[in-house]
Structure 1
């Protein structure tokens, strides 16, 4: 037998010293690691043999990883491992379980469904018959009788072995030497399908694992010495917990802790639940140092009105909302309105802001039944919520029970619109309807506008950037028409999340100066705990192993909270991530043998039909659902009932977004929890390492651009169509530039009035798209079992990035394979499948400047780079997709043929300084890749300086070699002017871009 030698002091990592979390009630688990100890006695022979077993497993597994279509099941590798062991030794499952005792997080050893592994062995085969290709585990009519196809009686489970502490990196053959080398360009399809791995790379990974296992044996022996245990006997006892059993054997693997058998009706306190989660076997100090903050409960503060409410209104408030007193901020805002001021209220979520615009309107209706109110919300769901709330109040007020209160949006039947216009006293609408219907038809709406007393714009923080600039001009058009019909006393009320400049933003949106801010929150709030939860390393002892899967981490936490009676919402940044997380949650419940709970979780995002979204909102409000996985579509205040916890997967686009999402928990004054799960990205890790910034950084300022000539001209043309313009009177609404704009862009009549130009007629509002919405959609049709049901509709600009033949489409966490994409008739046919892989589109975006409108240097000195602003053309193509397994490995590269997408817009681009190119060349770095990294660095810094929505500003993504010799270029769709972009880029450069 060959002797086992301990490796030298290799790969020691210095850990950053951390102290106790200042706000956490629990001790900090991430204290400085103790100095490594070695056992005082030699290794027992059993552990020496176990080390040999590990070395053989490591060698065979690493070699098998170079064969892309080989599944490393226990049966497949057993013979090869035994050959390495020699001397007739047999490899048993008990041997692998003993290895797992020592490195539990580095090894995967469990039974899996063989059908899920088959894709790894046939991924190079083209899919030609989606409905009949059983190798891809398609659901047939019989399969659909069960919600989970993997529970069919004829399924076969196999024992899978994997190292999960790192993977070989794909290399390519050097064109001259033929040796494996790191790719200096984006790999082609053939490189992906036939990867090359160097012997040096393989040996380095093998030695790294062997060294870790040697350290693990030492640590195990030291533990046994400290606790007075016999090592071999202890190993034999502990191995049983890691010995896998087939799912149908009836045996359960022991675990350290289990969730409750049933969901409790009354949950424990959040502090107790966090303490329980800390004791789970999968908890490995994920809560970062100083990342657990506790905010004490706040008692209510009340205020008095400066005028008397009627008894009917007092009774209505009590009967519908059990209100006997108003909070201080409610009373202050209503008093300011009574005094004749415009009011902006910026307080926390669930602080009762809606009463501030309900009470004044009802009080006005009692005095004058002809009074009108217009309530504007950014979404239909919010408008429906507030309509229901207002109607409940009216039912308890004598004489007002039959007051017509209606929504007026795109879903309102045409036959009902005239009746609503003429009879409704309160209309709930959105900026779009105001722009395309109400203002262009001002003569028909004249009675309503003449009697308009209050205009309410809720969620004012949404009206930012491009969308906010459009809404600002729509409000000016509304004020102008009201003044023309004799109504100069309209009062404006706005509510907003906590932002840096609410008062100034309201002045900018409405063009009024008499604005009063109410921002002291008098509402009560329960105890709130905020946790920064970092995804652990794949190998806790080796940071170079990389972070684990944040989706899996979030799903595990999500499920454990629900099983303890906590009602949870998880926020994701993008739609696809929402579906992936929902799928992971269902899989986690399945692994916990709690499939019935998985049915109590639904997804909520853009793309779902309005009917589905209303149903989900209703079921969550009624308590039928315990959890929702959502995009920021639920950041806004749609009432979905009481929530106990919010989990944010990955840092959202700004601190303001994070605080808005966090505010959704604790809406009924109970204790609540907010968790930020750190992803592997640098921005996430920055906040994991500096959690103080989450609580101390100021909110971003809201910005709109009234100097944007394209936006301004469009709305001036609309205003001139609604009512002829006189610049000497109307400049108070549209600014001094109206004189020049009217002279050059409008048509002047003999009386000096200016009219809409013929090129905008007959419907100028159709030439002005106020938000990034599209008229063309692709219907996604589920053809499973010949159902032919529309699952959802996808915008045309998204369609080619999410729907491609052979690709996987996700809906409510379920997987569908795309059978057909019809680009002419705008539909896609999909079939329900059950596979363990996903797809990711392959695309590039080419942005070319067309016309330079302005230029300026960025930074001092003659060597500074220059920034340009002007018209650009965006050319995007989706040319294929990858098949990706659960661990993010590429199984296959498939080409598709899609038409290109061309968009013309405004953009900003930079000249990269020659000095920067020289530095990159001297370090032998990929210049194109470095430029692309700089593009994303700029994009990631943008939300730190101005609130922007995802997609407001985008960058070019394409094959790296095509970017050589071209500057960093960014397409701007945020509505910011040239000067604003340049100013903000200069600030970003000073903050985060160091040469």
Structure 2
């Protein structure tokens, strides 16, 4: 175990700005803010002076005040409405955008409390407006609201297409508050950047020049990020990055679970069945989605030996992944993982360790009994339910059922905590994840803020900046994927200047093991910069169509949208989407579709499936449409706040379930295929063939395991045949005959899978430098014998339906790409691989097998056969 101590920091106060209204200052004082911190005043002053500003300081440093102080000042300075059209047109307004509904609801609650404390709730009218808002409340927001809290999705699908109805609000727009701006990365970041530019364009058309103020606790290059988001020069953005708020002492521990002596016992085995990494917060899972159960459970079915095929590095959330090549059967998600291969850390081999979830469960129970309020971040939704349930059972055993709600349960039953929380009660532990109804999420969020909830097991849905003071500890069951997420989650502990502790519990994969034994890879490295490309034509084209429908596109819009000329507009015109007129480019309103529906900020995933209890008609929650086959197939056990339900029927829009105290759990198995459909471009490097073209990735759930908790031992397998799900995308790949590859590189045939897998990881890690994408935007497949090429093949594909241009850029820059990949691996000083070179934070098979040395020989061979220019 490694423990780092982050020292405490004294706060540095400043005077309230003289331009801040005394009523607003008194409201803050009545809310407990006697004086602002110096960084808050610096940022607020820049915003008040009219500069686009980003505040990138530590979690809990009070970034909200820096945004709301100048924004509410503008609202309060506006003339009181008299009923005349002129006074209404002069009324200032503020738009707040957050990446999650939970964060918007949290900000709305805090804002209402602030205004009420100062008696300003009649002077400033605040409301939330998103996809869950009823029509009558939207009408009120359009007509009366001074502050609207929303999200980019609502902006794209509703507000901007209907901007004429929002003209009263948009005409008075003085500030746009962009919270947690680091969440907008990759394709999602490009989408949000274009939505923001469309917003600013319409505001300017109506005579408004709003100032954009952004906040993030963990943004790399924050000034450049905001500049790219809103389409201005970096020198036009003020970045405030030094926090002057007090910070308590924080201990951050990297914990590797201990070995176990009895692999058949129950102390090691709490792994979530069928758990693929969840991504409940923004950015949401892009593109096609399926949930094959445990990633390592998948098996190939297109000829050849399944152990020769590898698929990984797909986008976050549910994604197609396949079995890694391995000398043994793929490890089930609930089984202990023996470290049969040499570990990068040099740890003992053949060591079976307790699972990260079992260890997290015990630590969480210890913290609850010690009266320490805790968040436990778990990477899968099934894992969240398991941790909450097993923690409750542990507490019940230790206390004799003396704790409330979830901890006072029978052996196979759990009391739903939400009714207790709704009634103002308290509970020891609960679960929080995507798929819960909005009302249920709000109850849990409110209970957490008010201190009525001792502990919460959650996905990354609570990673972003919900203001929860008084949390003592954070547990992380496995590496969250990026240093940005790690520090976001760590920052939940010890808020408001209090001491705190954060513990990363390593999962059973080489990446987690490496980080535990090489803490410098976490503590001595800067957080990742936010990467996205608004000029990507795959993303830009549909937004140009939407913008043309809102207002005709003219020459003055070329720079705003990053266009060097009108070639893309001409192409859209040739496709019949736009029409050129003397006044500019117009949307072709003769078309049947709405231009805002040409793209989805989240990547065009399948519609959600409601989980409905047949006996009562109660909607328990929702499941992502692309994951429904694996999560709520007939016979599946669906867990909701510890209660178990069994699925009777799955339709296109609903899963019908009945309540049943189920002593088992289920985990689906899916077969995956990656088919190279065609070759659009080809290049020959001697014996190596490069190609770019359409790729089809398919997945089909074919069976599910029945598992006995808590060990999750498989007690049976049930055949199942579900519809085939398909991701049509584009990819770039290279292949080489086996005999040539082994002869030229000197690697043995048995080393080929590990060599290609490691080379694939490294190539995916480097491609964002050339294609201006995020690692989570692309996926990869490596195989020692691909059926479509008949040779060892490495494929890198876009993670979005139809492609997003990244694979094409990789093909066109293949020489630079391979050269940069080789340099990245060769220059890394590690011996067997690390996160800097061949480890991937999103590998579908736990970074196994990987052979850095063999990969380096393969990459050197590719460099040698590459054309001279």
Please give the residue correspondences for 1:465-480 in structure 2 after superposition, counting only pairs within 5 Å: 465-480=186-201
- Pick from 890, 898, 902: which aligns with 2:726? 902
| CA distance in structure 2 between the partners assigned to 1:706 and 1:360 by the alignment | 29
- Give SS of 1:595's match: coil
| CA distance in structure 1 between the partners assigned to 2:659 and 2:773 by the alignment | 37
Contact 1:870 1:906 in 2 (8 A): yes
Over 3 Å counting, the alpha-carbon distance change for 1:696 and 1:959 in structure 2 is: closer
Is residue 556 of structure 2 the alignment partner of residue 845 of structure 1? no
Is residue 598 of structure 2 the alignment partner of residue 767 of structure 1? yes
Please give the residue correspondences for 1:938-977 in structure 2 after superposition, counting only pairs within 5 Å: 952-955=777-780, 965=791, 967-973=793-799, 977=806
Please give the residue correspondences for 1:273-352 in structure 2 after superposition, counting only pairs within 5 Å: 288=1, 291-304=2-15, 307-320=18-31, 322-352=32-62
| CA distance in structure 1 between the partners assigned to 2:610 and 2:8 by the alignment | 48
- Give SS of 1:374's match: strand
1:459 Cα deviation from its structure 2 partner: 0.6
Over 3 Å counting, the alpha-carbon distance change for 1:644 and 1:944 in structure 2 is: farther
| CA distance in structure 2 between the partners assigned to 1:955 and 1:918 by the alignment | 25
Contact 1:700 1:944 in 2 (8 A): no
Which ranges in structure 1 are unaligned for 5 or more consecutive residues?
1-287
* Structure 1 residue aligned with 2:242: 520
Contact 1:567 1:644 in 2 (8 A): yes
- Give SS of 1:606's match: coil
| CA distance in structure 2 between the partners assigned to 1:300 and 1:646 by the alignment | 23
Contact 1:700 1:945 in 2 (8 A): no
Please give the residue correspondences for 1:86-485 in structure 2 after superposition, counting only pairs within 5 Å: 288=1, 291-304=2-15, 307-320=18-31, 322-369=32-79, 370-397=91-118, 401-485=122-206
- Give SS of 2:110's match: helix
1:669 Cα deviation from its structure 2 partner: 1.6
Please identify the structure whose Cα radius of gyration is greater: 1
| CA distance in structure 2 between the partners assigned to 1:852 and 1:577 by the alignment | 41
- Aligned pair count reads 695
1:932 Cα deviation from its structure 2 partner: 6.0
1:846 Cα deviation from its structure 2 partner: 1.6
Is residue 460 of structure 2 the alignment partner of residue 740 of structure 1? no
| CA distance in structure 1 between the partners assigned to 2:457 and 2:724 by the alignment | 32
* Structure 1 residue aligned with 2:282: none
Contact 1:535 1:547 in 2 (8 A): yes
| CA distance in structure 2 between the partners assigned to 1:549 and 1:877 by the alignment | 28
Over 3 Å counting, the alpha-carbon distance change for 1:674 and 1:944 in structure 2 is: farther
* Structure 2 residue aligned with 1:549: 355
* Structure 2 residue aligned with 1:823: 651
- Pick from 216, 226, 230: which aligns with 1:506? 226
| CA distance in structure 2 between the partners assigned to 1:532 and 1:942 by the alignment | 30
- Pick from 604, 618, 632: which aligns with 1:789? 618
Q: Deviations over 1:509-567 (max 9, x none)?
A: 00012101000001101110111111112249974132222221111111111101111
Please provide the CA RMSD for this pair. Answer: 3.2
| CA distance in structure 1 between the partners assigned to 2:817 and 2:596 by the alignment | 31
1:694 Cα deviation from its structure 2 partner: 1.4
- Pick from 689, 697, 703: which aligns with 2:517? 689
| CA distance in structure 1 between the partners assigned to 2:805 and 2:613 by the alignment | 41
Please give the residue correspondences for 1:671-686 in structure 2 after superposition, counting only pairs within 5 Å: 671-686=499-514
TM-score for the superposition, normalised by structure 2: 0.74
- Give SS of 1:326's match: coil
| CA distance in structure 2 between the partners assigned to 1:298 and 1:517 by the alignment | 21
Please give the residue correspondences for 1:477-876 in structure 2 after superposition, counting only pairs within 5 Å: 477-487=198-208, 489-513=209-233, 514-539=236-261, 543-597=349-403, 598-599=406-407, 600-726=428-554, 728-746=555-573, 747-757=578-588, 761-772=592-603, 774=605, 776-782=607-613, 786-818=615-647, 820-824=648-652, 826-835=654-663, 837-852=664-679, 868-876=691-699
Comparing 385-394 with 872-881, which one deviates more in the overlay? Answer: 385-394
1:930 Cα deviation from its structure 2 partner: 7.0
Over 3 Å counting, the alpha-carbon distance change for 1:971 and 1:338 in structure 2 is: same
| CA distance in structure 2 between the partners assigned to 1:584 and 1:466 by the alignment | 37
Contact 2:609 2:652 in 1 (8 A): no
Comparing 524-533 with 416-425, which one deviates more in the overlay? Answer: 416-425
- Pick from 852, 856, 859: which aligns with 1:994? 856
1:704 Cα deviation from its structure 2 partner: 0.8
Q: Deviations over 1:670-729 (max 9, x none)?
A: 110000101110000001111122111121111112232121110000011111111x21
| CA distance in structure 1 between the partners assigned to 2:715 and 2:156 by the alignment | 50
| CA distance in structure 2 between the partners assigned to 1:358 and 1:743 by the alignment | 43
Comparing 632-641 with 594-603, which one deviates more in the overlay? Answer: 594-603
1:935 Cα deviation from its structure 2 partner: 5.2
1:471 Cα deviation from its structure 2 partner: 0.7
TM-score for the superposition, normalised by structure 1: 0.65
* Structure 2 residue aligned with 1:190: none
Comparing 939-948 with 745-754, which one deviates more in the overlay? Answer: 939-948
Contact 2:11 2:244 in 1 (8 A): yes
Which ranges in structure 2 are unaligned for 5 or more consecutive residues?
80-90, 263-346, 408-427, 826-836, 838-854, 858-869
Q: Deviations over 1:278-306 (max 9, x none)?
A: xxxxxxxxxx2xx1111221100123455
Structure with higher RCO (Cα < 8 A, 6+ apart): 2
| CA distance in structure 1 between the partners assigned to 2:751 and 2:659 by the alignment | 42
| CA distance in structure 2 between the partners assigned to 1:526 and 1:532 by the alignment | 19
1:418 Cα deviation from its structure 2 partner: 2.6
